[in-house]
A and B are shown apart, each in its own frame.
Chain A
C-alpha cells in the first residue's frame, strides 16, 4: 500500500443514509438550534416531485420559511443574492439544499452571505477567506455522482463581470449529507449510468493520482465495489431501493475520496469538453476514464491493477497475473460502458463522436478537439495527474476518445520513459 510521507484527509460531514431518513432532518436541525429552515432546489427536482417528498417528511416537525426552486443550471451570483434576501426576510436560520451540484453551490453561496452578514460574495473568493463556521446546511443529493455534498468548494458565476468565482474552505462543507433512496428512485437510466460513472471516475482517479493516501484509498475501493455490484441491476430494475442506496453511498464516499485526493486528467479533459461543447460531465467521465488510466499506465499501472479487485471481484482478480491486471481493469471499465450503452438504447455513449444533443446533432465535432486541448492546459486538475500532458498529448488522447479506439500507447514510447515504473 502506498503511504506518502505526508498527507491530509478531512471530512467533517455527518452522513445519514437509509430508505426513510429524510424524516430525521428536523431532529438533526434542532440539535444545531435551527427553528426555521429554507429549502433551496431547482425546477427539475421540483417537477420530479422530490421536493414534495422532502416537505412531507419534515414539515410536521420543523417550520419551513421558504421553498425556492429558482436555481439555474450554473449557479449565479444574482440568484444567490435574491435567495439570501428571502432567507433573511423570512427569518430562516438554516438551509436544506435538495438537488445536484449547482443547487448545492448556490446554497453554499447563500450561506456565506447570510452567515457573514455581507452583500458581497467576491470578498470570500479564493482559498481560506472564510474564518468561521457558517449557519447549518443540510445537503440532500438527488443524483448519485458528483459527491458535492462532501466537497469544500463552490463555483458561482458572476455574469456581469463575466467571471466564475471559486470558493474553497472547510467551512463550506455541509453539516449533514442525507442520502435517502427515495431521492434517486426516479432518476432516468442514462442519468443513473452517467452519474455513477462520474462517481467511479472520482474513485479511480483518487486512487491513481498524485495525492493518493491510505484513507482516501479505502473510500475509493469501497465506492468502486458498490458501483460495480449494483449499477447494472439498478439500470434493469430502477425501483431497486437497496441498489439506489448503494449507488448514493458510493457517490458519497467517492466524493470524500476525491475531495481529499483530487482528480487528474480524466477531469482535466472532461471539464474542457464540458466548457467548449457543453457535454454533460458524467458523459465525459464515462468515455474518458479508460483513456486516462491507459495514458498514465506506465506510472500508475500498479494502482490501476489493484482496481481490478473492486471492479471485477476476487475470482477474476486472483486468476489474472499481476502484470495483466491494469489492462484487465481498463478492459472491464470499457466493457461496463458498453453494457450500459446497450441497456440504455445508446444513451450512454462510449465515444465522443457518438455524443448527440436532443436533436440528434453531434455535440463534439472533430474540429473542436484542438480548442478543447487548449482549454485543458488551463485546468487546475492537470497538476494532480501523474504524467505530464502537453497540447499534443491531450490532442492525441482526445482523438482516440473521439473515435472510440483503444489508446495506442506506443505513440508515447519515446516521450514518456516507460521503464520508469516507480515515480510516485
Chain B
C-alpha cells in the first residue's frame, strides 16, 4: 500500500512551452494590431474603458490577458496578470488548445465541439472573438488562416503587406 504513482495535471512541458509562446505572441500581436488596424482599434474603442479579457487553457494551463489602460491604450498584460478579466475565454484543456494552435481545429469548430467556455458579457466576448480572428489573419499565412476562421477577408494590399509586417514586427519587439 502507499506505493503508487501520482500524476499531476499540466505535464508535457514541450506542449506547454509551445502554447505559452503562442499565447504570448498572439497577445503582443493584439496590442500591435490595436495601433495598426482600424477595425481592431474600433472594436477596442467600442469596449468599456477598463476592459480586459483573457485566453487560456483550463486546469492550470497557460494563460494570457489583454486590457485597456486608463488612457484607453491596449496593453498585453502578460501571462500571470493579477487582474480579474471581464471576459474570460477558457479552452477546456491543453490538448484542445494545442489542436487550436496547431490549426487542426478552427475556432468556430472548437467552439461547436464545446471545447471553449466564455465567461462575462457575451456581446463583449463576441468582440474579442472578432479581434482574435483579425489578428490570426495577420499572423498566419493564408492557407493556414483559412483553416482557423470562417471566412477569409478581402483586404487591401496595404493591409496584407505593410500592416502585416508592422504587426509582426511590433509583436516580436514588443512596443
Assign chain A's interface to a size class. Answer: 20 to 34
Does B117 count as interface, using CB distance less than 8 angstroms?
yes
Once the chains are docked, how many angstroms separate the CA of A387 from the CA of B127? 17
Binding stretch for chain B, among A1-9, A186-194, A310-318, A362-370: A1-9
Once the chains are docked, how many angstroms separate the CA of A311 from the CA of B90? 39
B116-154 interface (Cβ within 8 A of A): 117-119, 122-127, 129-130, 149-152, 154
> Could you say which residues of chain A place their CB within 8 Å of the CB of B108?
210, 383-384
> How far, in Å, is A208 (CB) from chain B's closest CB?
12
Does A73 count as interface, using CB distance less than 8 angstroms?
no
Once the chains are docked, how many angstroms separate the CA of A210 from the CA of B118? 17
Contact flags (1/0) for A128-143 with B, using CB distance below 8 Å? 1000000000000000
Q: Are B126 and A4 touching (Cβ within 8 A)?
A: no
> How far, in Å, is B42 (CB) from chain A's closest CB?
11
Q: Are B126 and A379 touching (Cβ within 8 A)?
A: yes
Q: Are A415 and B129 touching (Cβ within 8 A)?
A: no
> How far, in Å, is B127 (CB) from chain A's closest CB?
7
Once the chains are docked, how many angstroms separate the CA of A166 from the CA of B117? 14
Does A386 count as interface, using CB distance less than 8 angstroms?
yes
> How far, in Å, is B135 (CB) from chain A's closest CB?
15
Q: Are A4 and B113 touching (Cβ within 8 A)?
A: yes
> How far, in Å, is A225 (CB) from chain B's closest CB?
25
- What's the count of A-B pairs with C-beta under 8 Å? 60
A27-76 interface (Cβ within 8 A of B): none
> How far, in Å, is B133 (CB) from chain A's closest CB?
8
Chain B residues within 8 Å of chain A by Cβ, number? 23
> How far, in Å, is B57 (CB) from chain A's closest CB?
16
Contact A380-B112, Cβ < 8 Å, known A388-B149, A388-B150: no
Q: Are A8 and B117 touching (Cβ within 8 A)?
A: no
Contact A384-B112, Cβ < 8 Å, known A126-B119, A377-B126, A379-B123: yes
Interface residue from B124, B125, B151 paired with A388 (Cβ < 8 Å): B151
Q: Are A262 and B112 touching (Cβ within 8 A)?
A: yes
B42-61 interface (Cβ within 8 A of A): none
Contact flags (1/0) for A382-410 with B, using CB distance below 8 Å? 11101110000000000000000000000
> Could you say which residues of chain B place their CB within 8 Å of the CB of A7?
113
> How far, in Å, is B85 (CB) from chain A's closest CB?
13
Does A146 count as interface, using CB distance less than 8 angstroms?
no
Once the chains are docked, how many angstroms separate the CA of A8 from the CA of B126? 23
> Could you say which residues of chain A place their CB within 8 Å of the CB of B127?
377-378
Does A414 count as interface, using CB distance less than 8 angstroms?
yes
Once the chains are docked, how many angstroms separate the CA of A211 from the CA of B111? 9
> Could you say which residues of chain B place their CB within 8 Å of the CB of A128?
117
> How far, in Å, is A2 (CB) from chain B's closest CB?
12
> Could you say which residues of chain B place their CB within 8 Å of the CB of A211?
112-114
Does A127 count as interface, using CB distance less than 8 angstroms?
yes
Once the chains are docked, how many angstroms separate the CA of A7 from the CA of B115? 10
Chain B residue at smallest Cβ distance from A393 = B151
Prevailing SS type, chain A contact patch: loop
Chain A residue at smallest Cβ distance from B117 = A127
> How far, in Å, is B112 (CB) from chain A's closest CB?
4
> Could you say which residues of chain B place their CB within 8 Å of the CB of A415?
151, 154
Interface residue from B114, B126, B130 paired with A380 (Cβ < 8 Å): B126
Once the chains are docked, how many angstroms separate the CA of A382 from the CA of B123? 10
> Could you say which residues of chain A place their CB within 8 Å of the CB of B111?
210, 383-384
Chain A residue at smallest Cβ distance from B126 = A378
Once the chains are docked, how many angstroms separate the CA of A387 from the CA of B151? 7
Once the chains are docked, how many angstroms separate the CA of A7 from the CA of B154? 32
> How far, in Å, is A389 (CB) from chain B's closest CB?
9
Chain A residue at smallest Cβ distance from B90 = A127
> How far, in Å, is A123 (CB) from chain B's closest CB?
14
> Could you say which residues of chain B place their CB within 8 Å of the CB of A222?
none
Once the chains are docked, how many angstroms separate the CA of A127 from the CA of B120? 10
Interface residue from B113, B149, B150 paired with A6 (Cβ < 8 Å): B113
Q: Are B126 and A382 touching (Cβ within 8 A)?
A: yes
Q: Are A8 and B114 touching (Cβ within 8 A)?
A: yes
Does B35 count as interface, using CB distance less than 8 angstroms?
no
Does A416 count as interface, using CB distance less than 8 angstroms?
yes
Does B109 count as interface, using CB distance less than 8 angstroms?
yes
Q: Are B122 and A378 touching (Cβ within 8 A)?
A: yes
> Could you say which residues of chain B place their CB within 8 Å of the CB of A5?
113
> Could you say which residues of chain B place their CB within 8 Å of the CB of A384?
108, 111-112
> Could you say which residues of chain B place their CB within 8 Å of the CB of A127?
117, 119
Once the chains are docked, how many angstroms separate the CA of A127 from the CA of B88? 12
Chain A residue at smallest Cβ distance from B151 = A388
B136-175 interface (Cβ within 8 A of A): 149-152, 154
Beyond the given A379-B122, A384-B111, please list 12 additional residue pairs across the A-B interface where CB-CB is below 8 A: A6-B115, A7-B113, A166-B122, A377-B126, A377-B130, A378-B123, A378-B127, A380-B118, A383-B126, A384-B108, A388-B151, A415-B154
Contact surface of B with A, Cβ cutoff 8 Å:
108-109, 111-115, 117-119, 122-127, 129-130, 149-152, 154
Contact surface of A with B, Cβ cutoff 8 Å:
4-8, 126-128, 166, 209-211, 262, 377-380, 382-384, 386-388, 414-417
